[in-house]
Amino acid sequence: MDEFEQSAPKEERADVAPSMPRPLPAPPGIGAETRDLFRLLYNHNPFYVVSALLVFSGLWQSFGREPELFEAGALTLGLAAYALLLALTAWLIIRLGHVWDDARSLMLLIVLMFLAISVSVDPVLNAEGQPGRIFVWSGLAFAVAVSESLLRGLRLRMPVLFRVPYYLMLALFFVYPLAMSPLLNRPPTPPLYWALFAFPAVAGVVFLTLLPAVRRGPGYVRQTASPWRWPAYPWVLFGMLGVCVCLRAYYLCVSFHAILGTESIFGPYFLVPFLLAVDVLVLEAGIVSANHTVRRAALGMPLAILLLAAAGHRTDPVYYDFLTRFVGATQGTPLYVTLLASIGFYVYALLRRVRRAGDALSLAVAALAIIGPGSLVLEDIVYQTPWPIAVAGAMQVVAGFARHRSFRVAIGAACVMAVFVFGLDGWQPWLAMYREAILWHASIVVVLAVGALFDDDFALLVRALGAPMLVVSCLAPALVDPQAFSGVPPLVMLLYPVAPILVALLYARLIDGRVYYGAAAAGAIGWFAASTWIVCRQAREQVVGLNQIAWGVAFFLLAACISLAKAGVWSRLGERRRATL
């Protein structure tokens, strides 16, 4: 293998240079649309795919419906012969014409043929003993031999960190059913159910063996004697293997636990462990290549996986029986368990210092407030418990202080505050009567704290908001409904504005902000006016002519001011002030 780890000689590398397809000569007498269709078919050549589908369908119709040794052998041999034909064709079109585009389609179809061969062995393994084992090992040996021969024949360099995971995946397709053979009892037992469910998870672990290759980056496959650049080579091949894993997971359940045709225990949530493993590889690829788009796609992929876990649930007894076992064993539905696994993925991304991973983790934790252990489908996403929102808010507060971002701190503190205030019914029912007042004062505390601890634009905006909030607090005795605070002594309500006035003065000294001195003055004037209004409102009930007396005093003060003006008092006071200035 060492000689093939070296780059190809120059004269051989010249042979593998990509060549453009020769232009299709336009047949005479046809229109432009027909000519474009001919060129499309000529350039992309989908007929290999059509041929493979037809051959597989014909072989399956002829030999794949009965688990007899002869029929299974004929199906396997037919698939193997067609795979050999594809491999030979790929070698010929590369050696003779360097048609790499068609060769790529052939190589991917060969991988699909390997999957089909592994599936064709399942009926024999299910019904027979030793012949099934012979079929398994023979099929695996055939897949390895064809793969290695094709790589060497095309002079394609596949580094060892890619080659080993590739062969491990092929071995998994063939050997995993053989490992389950002791569980193939009648009737099916729970260990068989869990073995079928575990296949995608095992495939995910095998896929994670690609991590060393991913962390090597594009330079690891720079010289492969192939016209395909990274990531087209070799990641398209492993993408096809990923599709094969999903198909193999389904057909395992059909082959070894099929009841009434294709009815089985398989559900889309079976694929969740494998897809999360793939997401780890995508995240690592984005980190190594410094590609922000790939990293963002990796962070968003758990959302699609969550939707997959909530989809495709059926009510047939076979499916529902295993789903009940799954919920009992994990103490949660597939949707809930997938959310927990996604939180683990985001913790990993956070440890890898991926940008926005902390925000994604906070959202995933907050989602626990609406996705609980009993949430099976999207219609079950309802309010469950408030504590995840508080935890997510605390995480944002920590992240805000770590990155010196006032907005994060404010949002996180608002989440924690909302959980506390709206959870008073369960914690301290007697405080629930004053929920609005507690929420208002907690908001003032958050605004003042953020304005004092940070200096960015958002903090300056919040700081300006605190002053009018304190002024409004001073007007509380006149604005609030007395019945809402019937349990508070009247004297406390009357003297309450002293507290916001003092807070405004202290805060003005702390941040050297004149606006808070103005807020303190406006609050004192408002307090005096509100207190006067309250006293007058209460006294008016006792003194019938109080309104006339008050207006009389007001007009008396106006008349006195006019008299003082006529006496020159105001002008003399003005002259003295100007003299002092």
With bands split at pLDDT 50, 70 and 90, how would you rate the model's confidence at 8? very low
pLDDT score at 182: 79
With bands split at pLDDT 50, 70 and 90, how would you rate the model's confidence at 539? low
Token couple for 245:
């894993």
The whole-number average pLDDT for the span 439-455 is: 87
The whole-number average pLDDT for the span 410-434 is: 73
pLDDT exceeds 80 at position 109: yes
Query: What is the percent of the chain with per-residue pLDDT over 70, rounded to a whole number?
Result: 74
pLDDT exceeds 70 at position 90: yes
Residues 389 and 369: beta-carbon distance below 8 Å: yes
pLDDT score at 545: 66
pLDDT exceeds 60 at position 158: yes
Write the CB contacts of 39 (distance below 8 Å, at least 6 apart in sequence).
23, 24
Residues 190 and 121: beta-carbon distance below 8 Å: no
Residues 460 and 410: beta-carbon distance below 8 Å: no
The whole-number average pLDDT for the span 64-91 is: 73
pLDDT score at 361: 94
With bands split at pLDDT 50, 70 and 90, how would you rate the model's confidence at 323? very high
pLDDT score at 207: 95
**Lowest-confidence range among 314-323, 363-372, 544-553?**
544-553
Q: Which residues pair with 259 in a beta bridge?
A: 263
302 in a domain, yes or no? Answer: no
pLDDT score at 428: 59
266 in a domain, yes or no? Answer: no
DSSP per-residue letters across 132-198: HHHHHHHHHHHHHHHHHHHHHHTT----HHHHHHHHHHHHHHHHHHHHHGGG--SS--HHHHHHHHH
pLDDT score at 30: 57
Write the CB contacts of 38 (distance below 8 Å, at least 6 apart in sequence).
24, 26, 27, 30
Given its phi and psi angles, is residue 258 left (phi above 0), alpha (psi -120 to 50 degrees) or beta?
beta
pLDDT score at 300: 94
Q: Over the range 273-308, which residues count as b (16 or more CB within 10 Å of their CB) and which as e?
A: bbbbbbbbbbbbbbbbbeeeebbeebbebbeebbeb
* HSE, side-chain direction, 13 A CA sphere, residue 465: 15
523 in a domain, yes or no? Answer: yes
pLDDT exceeds 90 at position 164: yes
pLDDT top residue among 406 and 96: 406
54 in a domain, yes or no? Answer: no
Residue 534 domain boundaries: 410-553
Q: What is d(CA 309, CA 327) in angstroms, rounded to the nearest whole number?
A: 13
Residues 365 and 377: beta-carbon distance below 8 Å: no
pLDDT score at 47: 65
35 in a domain, yes or no? Answer: no
- Nearest-CA neighbor of 278 among 197, 353, 209? 209
Token couple for 169:
């995946």
pLDDT exceeds 90 at position 348: yes
pLDDT score at 304: 94
291 in a domain, yes or no? Answer: no
pLDDT score at 15: 41
Q: What is d(CA 335, CA 377) in angstroms, rounded to the nearest whole number?
A: 7
**Lowest-confidence range among 143-152, 497-506, 567-576?**
567-576
- Looking up tokens 């599709």 gives 243
pLDDT exceeds 90 at position 577: no
Strand, coil or helix: 249: helix
Cis peptide before 200 (omega within 30 of 0): no
Q: What is d(CA 464, CA 468) in angstroms, rounded to the nearest whole number?
A: 8
pLDDT score at 67: 54
Q: What is d(CA 465, CA 106) in angstroms, rounded to the nearest whole number?
A: 67
Strand, coil or helix: 259: strand
Write the CB contacts of 168 (distance below 8 Å, at least 6 apart in sequence).
206, 209
573 class by beta-carbon count within 10 Å (0-12 exposed, 13-18 middle, 19+ buried): exposed
Q: What is d(CA 322, CA 198) in angstroms, rounded to the nearest whole number?
A: 13
Residues 237 and 166: beta-carbon distance below 8 Å: yes
Taking the model in full, what pTM does it have?
A: 0.77
Strand, coil or helix: 289: helix
What is the dihedral sign for C-alpha 304, 305, 309, 312?
A: positive
pLDDT score at 495: 75
pLDDT top residue among 11 and 44: 44
pLDDT score at 436: 75
Model confidence pLDDT, tens digit, residues 279-313? 999 999 999 888 899 999 999 999 999 999 999 88
pLDDT top residue among 333 and 560: 333
Residues 409 and 450: beta-carbon distance below 8 Å: yes
Cis peptide before 212 (omega within 30 of 0): no
Mean pLDDT of the chain: 79
Write the CB contacts of 510 (distance below 8 Å, at least 6 apart in sequence).
452
Residues 234 and 158: beta-carbon distance below 8 Å: yes
Longest Cα separation, the chain: 129
With bands split at pLDDT 50, 70 and 90, how would you rate the model's confidence at 99? low
What letter would DSSP give residue 38? H
pLDDT score at 210: 93
Residues 458 and 407: beta-carbon distance below 8 Å: yes
The whole-number average pLDDT for the span 367-378 is: 90
Residues 94 and 154: beta-carbon distance below 8 Å: yes
509 in a domain, yes or no? Answer: yes
Token couple for 424:
């008073």
434 in a domain, yes or no? Answer: yes
The whole-number average pLDDT for the span 181-198 is: 81
Strand, coil or helix: 409: helix
The whole-number average pLDDT for the span 187-192 is: 78
Strand, coil or helix: 100: helix
pLDDT top residue among 350 and 478: 350
250 class by beta-carbon count within 10 Å (0-12 exposed, 13-18 middle, 19+ buried): buried
Model confidence pLDDT, tens digit, residues 138-153? 889 999 999 888 888 8
Q: What is d(CA 118, CA 136) in angstroms, rounded to the nearest whole number?
A: 7
The whole-number average pLDDT for the span 19-28 is: 51
DSSP per-residue letters across 417-467: HHHHHHTHHHH-GGGGGGHHHHHHHHHHHHHHHHHHH--SHHHHHHHHHHH
Q: How many domains is the chain partitioned into structurally?
A: 1
Long-range pairs, 377-385, Cβ under 8 A, ≥24: 377/310, 377/311, 377/313, 377/335, 378/307, 378/310, 380/333, 380/335
Query: What distance, in Å, lies between the first and last C-alpha atoms of the chain?
Result: 98
pLDDT score at 344: 95
pLDDT score at 17: 43
With bands split at pLDDT 50, 70 and 90, how would you rate the model's confidence at 7? very low
Token couple for 86:
């594809």
Q: What is d(CA 44, CA 61) in angstroms, rounded to the nearest whole number?
A: 29
pLDDT score at 519: 84
- Nearest-CA neighbor of 279 among 194, 360, 335? 360
Residues 154 and 233: beta-carbon distance below 8 Å: no
